[in-house]
Amino acid sequence: MVHFMRPSPAMVAPRMSSLVAVAAVDHPGGAEIGLLRLLPRLRDLGWEVTLTTPGEGSLATRARAAGLRVEHLAVGGLDRGAGLRATASYPRAWRLAGRRDVVYLNGTVAARLLPAVARRARTVLHVHDMVERVPPFWRRAGVVLADSQAVADRLDGLTAHVVGCPIEPTPAPVPAPWEPDDRPVVGFVGRIEPRKGVKDLVAAAPRLAEAGVRVVIVGDDPYGSDPAYRDAVRDSGVEQYGWIEDAAGLMGELAVLVVPSREEPFGTVLAEAMNAGTPVVATRVGGLAEVVEDGVTGRLVDPGDPDALVEAVIEVLSRREEMGAAGRERAKRWHADAYAARIAELIAP
């Protein structure tokens, strides 16, 4: 007679956890770039990972290049009133969730699928925005993540884990699009839109030029069709450049990064600049004050005050080495490897 020995727990290999992450868009913004940093690291930690996008786009292309499996799942679009269209994807979302341990809903638009997946798998809702209201069905999420305490404070009735946003510890260098000269370069990097407060930096630029400072703006420019903005940029002497992929590698080319936002949930660009040893000036709004230690890694000023921006930039330039070193040390808390390990612990089935 053959006797079979029952394996002990120590002899049984742990089952790989599986996750499907839902993105709301085809082209990556800040939330999706964070996801592209997180998911390969979860895979390296032993997770089986799939990313869904509404269709084909640069997000799917970049995910496949990182070795991720990609499927398509629509969430209704970003325009107002589009949420009802997400219900057409409920059956497919339900089936995908049934084959995974964890469903990771990356953002409030992806959260439209919560009613379809909440009972099929452990659900994670990652909130990246300063929301105005909390829909009742969000309470069905098993885990809620928030980019900052400022974001979490808006999530009435939900218990959220504040996790920040991941940054690459050693991004590939990106050459500056401007020709070098002897002046320190102070600049804004990001999407140019009203809530980013870029016009305040433009207004501050003439005084900074008088102090021998060169001001650059790098980013996608929806103001391009606004003659008043174009005239202001031209008259201010600001140098404007287009969008640069993987701009984290550009941060070391700046003497100071300026983020003059009127509202901001976290400010990944600040953490990326600090990681490069570049001190920062930012406004005291949203999650920015949680990233910048005022007077240590940079300066915080009130929003909508170009004169305060000028004074803060000049002060930071005078303490550039000291603040840059402090920022580099502080930025370690958002390094992507440690970030992924913490997320894995929080969302484990």
Give the domains, in start order, of the chain with CATH numbers. Answer: 15-163 (3.40.50.2000), 185-333 (3.40.50.2000)
What is the C-alpha to C-alpha distance for residues 295 and 319, in angstroms, rounded to an integer? 10
What separation in angstroms does the CA of 182 have from each of 202, 212, 214, 225?
A: 21, 9, 9, 33
CA distances from 50 to 68, 126, 189, 232 (A): 6, 16, 31, 46
Q: How many CB atoms are closer than 10 A to CB 345?
A: 9
Angular region, 267: left φ>0, alpha ψ -120 to 50, beta rest: left
Using alpha carbons, select from 96, 29, 27, 35 the residue that is nearest to residue 59: 27
Bigger pLDDT: 137 or 16? 137
pTM: 0.91
Position 84 scores a pLDDT of 81
Q: What is the mean pLDDT of residues 17-36?
A: 95
- In terms of Cα–Cα distance, which of 283, 98, 72, 103 is closest to 198? 283
Q: What average pLDDT score do residues 323-342 get?
A: 98
pLDDT reported for residue 151: 98
- In the beta sheet, which residues pair with residue 241? 218
Mean pLDDT calculated for residue range 99-125? 96
Quote the pLDDT of residue 83: 75
Half-sphere exposure of 214 (CA within 13 A, CB side): 14
CA contacts within 13 A on the Cβ side of 314: 14
pLDDT at 6 over 50: no
